[in-house]
Chain A
Amino acid sequence: MTSPLKTPDTDPRGWFERRLPVMSLLRREYVAFPMPRNLNALWSFGAFLIVTMVFMVASGLFLAINYTPDITQAFASVEAIDRQIPSGWFIRSLHMGGVTMLFACLYIHIGRSLWYGSYKAPRELLWLTGLGLMLMVMVTAFAGYVLPWGQMSYWGATVILNAVHAIPLIGQPLSELLLGGDTLGNVALHRLFVLHFTMAFAILAAIALHVAALHVVKSNNPSGIDPVSPSQTLPFHPYYTSRDGFALCLFLMVYAGLVFFLPDLLTLADNYVQANPLVTPRDIRPEWYFAPFYAILRAVPSRLGGLLLASGSLAVLFVLPWLDRSAVRPATRRPMVRLSLPLAFAAFILLGIAGMHAPTPAWLLASRVAMAWWFIHFLLVMPLASEREMSS
């Protein structure tokens, strides 16, 4: 095929190409883009995440059209979406199911990067933009969960805003900025609505940054050795478009299963009781995706300490590329990491389960053990393992 750049101006493709080379960019980055040949199914989760985000923004726009960010009307407007707005129940389920799918894919996507060492040079910025995205999604999910103004919205937000308040120096001004007053009320609901809505588009922009970084450093692969010759790669299209297409169908089947058959799994029944500042629910439980961090908050007797350790559990991920200095990427080829990392994954899951149970001594102990292992893995095992591998 001749390059569109060489065609005369009468050819619209050439005319367009010389002014805005979008078509050649798409061809270069999404058709001919070289991909390792040996990627497994775990590499499809990034595609799932982008698709879910598109669902979230699209359904979110329709929800926002029908939602009233006012404490006297928010709950009723969400009920109206569920009951009276045509197809409102579907749009809302899509949005609620999307959160679960988003976090599930996010955690698996991050777990894959940890297992195959995708955070190592030269992919540190890819890793950091990804973690930044995770934080943005968490803030957005928190703000979004307050909007229906149910009991869990109100009391969950109260717990989080109290925790924010406990941060030294910036905590008080930050929580005041979110609350806009002394208590969680109308001003706060307006602010959280704007935060939720704005963050959605900020996330889209950050995804663009993340994908741009990916296209510079290219995909890691299960062997951890970057392809050196063209024979070790395949073009993105049609090989990975067809594969991701198939994986997406399976992914959407799980998503649809949640939306159409298990909608009650997506939320806590208490959130269908309108927020009442005078009645504290028997136990304030977070949504499953925040449960691991909630378990850490509760496992530490001091409020500030809990906050530091909960945020520290994420902070260790940010510095991981510098804690783990070994050049070997996949855990499969690192005896110590191969044992320690699955335990860290198990610790994360255990924290999640503990976070959804009442804080009995047994669950508190389990949380503390799991939390300890999470930090031991990242702060001790990873540097030690890299030390040993470097010297041998």
Chain B
Amino acid sequence: MTHWPRNFLLATSLTVLPAAASTPAQRGLMVFQQVCSACHGLEHVDYGDMSSLGLSTDEIRKWAADQQLPNGTDDNGDPKTRPATATDPILSPYPNEAVGRLANHGLLPPDLSRLALTLPGGAGEIRQILLSYAPAPAGVKLDEGRYYNTALKWKHIGMPPPLQDGMLTYPDGTQATPAQMAGDVSAFLDWVAHPHQAERRRIGIYVLAYLALMALLTFLLQRRIWKGRR
């Protein structure tokens, strides 16, 4: 197998933090960078898309530059890589599906781009799954690579418990408890699954206000035109 520069385990070093993480979605990005991205990708999301989460251009460039992407082959036919740029997608660390399965007992960690939209229960369900790991009760025998989790119908999941107390430090001083991180990362994934939602609502209010004003004016106009005609 070719050497893949990103660690399959926890890529805890070299991740760039937003200057002052403050919103849950911003803290959730940190959780994604340091925990989830060890196995999961956001293949439809570009690094540059994080600018609407409040990351500066430099932060985005630095984060992207720390990730390596496949870049064809060199003259000897060996695979080459290059640093990612802001317009590259946030790919899964696995170069292909087979490697992803090989590293995870045959299960492929799903892409997270739209998970908070397509998973029944949405972001709340993601949080619930992250917090529902428990020791398997006596008598329950799980296959290798399966972990007991009460949030799922079959009570097990292929993802090892990802969140441990104090595994990362939030720059804004928020305590990184598993419950806090689970809430934050589900807020981040909700933001990712509903692109441009804040902008959508902000513009929507102006559009509705404008149309309401036009409705009032056209109502007065048609009433004046129709006066005495009915």
Contact = CB atoms under 8 A, between A and B. Distances in A.
Q: Which of A93, A253, A260, A263 has the most CB of B within 10 A?
A: A260
B150 to A, nearest CB: 22
A234 B208 CA distance: 32
Contacts of B211: 249, 252-253, 256
Interface stretch (A16-24, A76-84, A111-119, A311-319): A76-84
Contact of B214 (A84, A89, A249): A249
Contact of B230 (A37, A89, A259): A37
Nearest to B214: A249
A79 B113 contact: yes
Contacts of A256: 204, 207-208, 211
A238 B221 CA distance: 10
Given A83-B195, A249-B218, A260-B203, A242 B208 contact: no
Contacts of A264: 117, 194
B229 interface: yes
B52 to A, nearest CB: 10
Interface in A67-99: 76, 79-80, 82-84, 89-90, 93
Given A37-B229, A250-B215, A260-B200, A83 B208 contact: no
Given A83-B195, A243-B222, A246-B218, A234 B204 contact: no
B201 interface: yes
A249 B48 CA distance: 37
Contacts of B118: 269-270, 272-273
Contact of A89 (B44, B196, B218): B196
Interface in A240-259: 242-243, 245-246, 248-250, 252-253, 256-257, 259
A242 B214 CA distance: 12
Contacts of B222: 242-243, 245-246
A230 to B, nearest CB: 14
Contacts of A273: 114, 118
Interface in B186-206: 193-196, 200-201, 203-205
Contacts, number: 85
A89 B195 contact: yes
Interface residues of B, number: 33
B13 to A, nearest CB: 28
Contacts of B230: 37
A269 B117 contact: yes
Nearest to A262: B204
B153 to A, nearest CB: 12
A83 B46 CA distance: 9
B49 A242 contact: no
B49 to A, nearest CB: 6
B229 A261 contact: no
Interface in A303-342: none
A84 B113 CA distance: 13
A261 B122 CA distance: 17
A247 to B, nearest CB: 9
A93 B200 CA distance: 10
Contacts of A246: 215, 218-219, 221-222
A83 B207 contact: no
A201 interface: no
Contacts of A263: 200
Interface string A255-285: 0110111011000011011000000000000
B210 to A, nearest CB: 9
Nearest to B110: A273
A290 to B, nearest CB: 21
B152 interface: no
Given A79-B44, A249-B214, A243 B226 contact: yes
B108 to A, nearest CB: 12
A239 interface: yes
Contacts of A82: 195-196
Contacts of A238: 225
B114 A272 contact: yes
A22 to B, nearest CB: 26
Nearest 4 CB-CB pairings of A with B? A260-B204, A249-B215, A242-B222, A79-B44
23 contacts: A82-B195, A82-B196, A83-B49, A83-B195, A84-B46, A84-B48, A238-B225, A239-B225, A242-B222, A243-B222, A243-B226, A245-B218, A245-B221, A249-B215, A249-B218, A253-B208, A256-B211, A260-B200, A260-B207, A260-B208, A261-B200, A261-B201, A272-B114
Given A84-B48, A256-B204, A272-B193, 6 more contacts: A79-B44, A90-B203, A246-B218, A256-B211, A260-B201, A269-B118
